[in-house]
């Protein structure tokens, strides 16, 4: 074995040791995929899926708490999505957009018409996440 081969092996071993040490030093929560809920990070696929479910169950006339007075067919949700997003973004503001969706979003936790929200995720935030990504509003 010549000197050149020995140096290459030493460099390769050092790189492997460095990479292993770096991986070990990363905190475990940074490696976990997480999910919506207590104790985990946010899994973006789960957030999107849950947001979509909430929008259709509680907002677009599909569920028990749906607002049937301001119901739209699924194909028209594209037009309504911007109104919903504006209302969701102004949920804590004094001045609201002034659309019927200002009231509709209160069906989602932590809205005043959502019922028991104890232990539930922020459904308004999840609905916003879904609508913005699905309809490319930002």
Checking if the pLDDT of 42 tops 90, the result is: no
Instruction: Clarify whether residues 65 and 117 are in a common domain.
Output: yes
Does a structural domain hold residue 111? yes
Instruction: Clarify whether residues 55 and 109 are in a common domain.
Output: yes
The token duo for 103 is: 């009231």
Q: Are 107 and 65 in contact (CB under 8 A)?
A: yes
- Tens digits of residue pLDDT in 55-104: 988 887 644 444 556 566 767 788 789 999 999 999 999 999 998 889 98
Q: Which domain holds residue 124?
A: 44-134
Instruction: Clarify whether residues 65 and 90 are in a common domain.
Output: yes
**Closest residue by Cα to residue 134 from 55, 70, 57:** 55
Instruction: Clarify whether residues 48 and 98 are in a common domain.
Output: yes
Give the model's pLDDT for residue 68.
57
Instruction: Clarify whether residues 70 and 14 are in a common domain.
Output: no
Q: Are 112 and 106 in contact (CB under 8 A)?
A: yes
Give the model's pLDDT for residue 11.
56
Instruction: Clarify whether residues 8 and 65 are in a common domain.
Output: no
- Tens digits of residue pLDDT in 5-20: 654 554 555 544 444 4
């Amino acid at each position: 074995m010549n000197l050149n081969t020995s140096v290459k092996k030493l460099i390769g071993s050092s790189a492997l040791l460095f990479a292993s040490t770096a991986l070990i030093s990363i905190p475990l929560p940074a490696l976990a995929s997480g999910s919506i809920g207590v104790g985990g990070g946010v899994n973006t696929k789960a957030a999107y899926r849950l947001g979509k479910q909430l929008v259709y169950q509680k907002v677009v006339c599909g569920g028990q708490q749906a607002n049937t007075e301001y119901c739209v067919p699924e194909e028209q949700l594209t037009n309504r999505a911007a109104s919903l997003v504006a209302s969701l973004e102004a949920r804590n503001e004094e001045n609201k957009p002034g659309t019927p969706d200002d009231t509709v979003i209160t069906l989602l936790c932590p809205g005043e018409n959502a019922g028991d929200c104890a232990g539930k995720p922020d459904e308004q935030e999840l609905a916003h996440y879904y609508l913005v990504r699905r309809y490319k509003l930002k």
